[in-house]
Amino acid sequence: MLRIGVVGYGTGGRHFHTPFIDAAKNCKLSGIVARVSATVAAAKTDWPDTPIYASLAELIAAGTCDAVTITTPPQTRRELVLEAIHAGLHVIADKPFAPHAAAAWELDAAAKAKGVTLGVFQNRRLDADLQTLAKLIKDDRLGRIWRIHNRMDFDDPATLEAGPSGGLLRDLGSHLVDQMLWLLGPVVAVDAQLDHVDLPQGRTDASFTITLRHESGAHSHISASKLNHFNQRELRAYGDKGAFVSHSTDVQAQSIFAGKRPSHNLATWGYEPESHWGTLYTSDGSERVPSEQGRYHDYYEAFARAVADGKPPPVTAEAGAQVLAVLDAARHSTEQGRSISL
């Protein structure tokens, strides 16, 4: 049983970590770090049997955890990850888990020197729509992949992380880039356009479009927005045997925000409703494709197995560094108005 503490109880800790630790086999939620009175009260209400600590240092001193998830604001994560590593804890770092790729490699080296497991929480590999597309690719239903269009447009201005250390590129961009690296492999060139707004906290990127050229010869086109009053999640994949198009409901996130938990009924959790199944287009015609199950809790189960077996976690620090290298290149591409080679 891997005892896991969660450091931070904002949207990430409350909605995307604690419910899925609770649902994961061989994992136990053993502590929560929260300081603001409102978040402490929320944590006590949600998890009345779980101890609450005022700091990571206090949680470490209690000795009740084998691992911690760091899900505090992005600018705070690096120091907290290092603190946990130096204490001998295994670490799951929320994305983006470092300010840039060089810092990611620094954290990776620190974890290896200490002999602890460091993983990056890229839960959206386990989205229902992406799992459905991954199965079609694995089953060769699309043939050789030419390109994938991957878009997340959310009418959600309240969750835009404002200021130069935040922005949408490092938020949703971390997910979308990781998804494409996972499906299509390493990237050799990046071409990006970022749209900015001026906020009290500073200039903030609020939407983006990025083209990635992959070593395989495939290319992917990713985009996202939060301030344009538009809500749609879309995947489009083109191969030499056909195409797949889906518009999902982001079913796991919406279920969590509606107050549901995966542990209430794991058998039915995370399936897109039939009205939002994707469509496969081939020479045989069009075909609705039943949703694969979205299972964010699989991340934690895989992390626990990795710790037990001494094997790499489901998303390694190296993979996280590769994502950050693409995001760094996207910023350079926007600033310089050209494609950036990796």
Provide the residue ranges of all domains of the chain, joining segments of one domain with +: 2-121+299-313, 124-294
Answer yes or no: is pLDDT of 309 > 90.
yes
| CATH topology (fold) of 124-294 | Dihydrodipicolinate Reductase; domain 2 (3.30.360)
pLDDT tier at 98 (50, 70, 90 boundaries)?
confident
Considering the entire predicted model, what is its pTM?
A: 0.95
Q: What local confidence, expressed as pLDDT, does residue 164 receive?
A: 86
Answer yes or no: is pLDDT of 74 > 90.
no
Condensed to tens digits (0 to 9), the pLDDT of residues 238-293 reads: 999 999 999 999 999 999 999 999 999 999 999 999 999 999 999 999 999 999 99
First-last CA distance in the chain:
40
Q: What local confidence, expressed as pLDDT, does residue 179 receive?
A: 98
Question: Worst-scoring range by mean pLDDT, 76-90, 123-137, 151-165, 168-182?
Answer: 151-165
Q: Which residue has the tokens 């895989």?
A: 302
Q: What local confidence, expressed as pLDDT, does residue 4 receive?
A: 98
* 97-107: average pLDDT: 90
Q: Can you name the residues that pair with 237 across neighbouring β-strands?
A: 148, 244
Q: What local confidence, expressed as pLDDT, does residue 89 receive?
A: 98
Q: Which residue has the tokens 């020197």?
A: 113
Question: Worst-scoring range by mean pLDDT, 78-92, 133-147, 159-173?
Answer: 159-173
Q: What local confidence, expressed as pLDDT, does residue 17 receive?
A: 98
CATH number of the domain at 2-121+299-313, please? 3.40.50.720
pLDDT tier at 181 (50, 70, 90 boundaries)?
very high
pLDDT tier at 155 (50, 70, 90 boundaries)?
very high
pLDDT tier at 96 (50, 70, 90 boundaries)?
confident
Question: CA-to-CA distance for 184 and 213, rounded, in angstroms?
Answer: 10
pLDDT tier at 151 (50, 70, 90 boundaries)?
very high
Q: What local confidence, expressed as pLDDT, does residue 166 receive?
A: 87
Mutual angle of helices 74-86 and 101-114, in 10-degree steps: 20
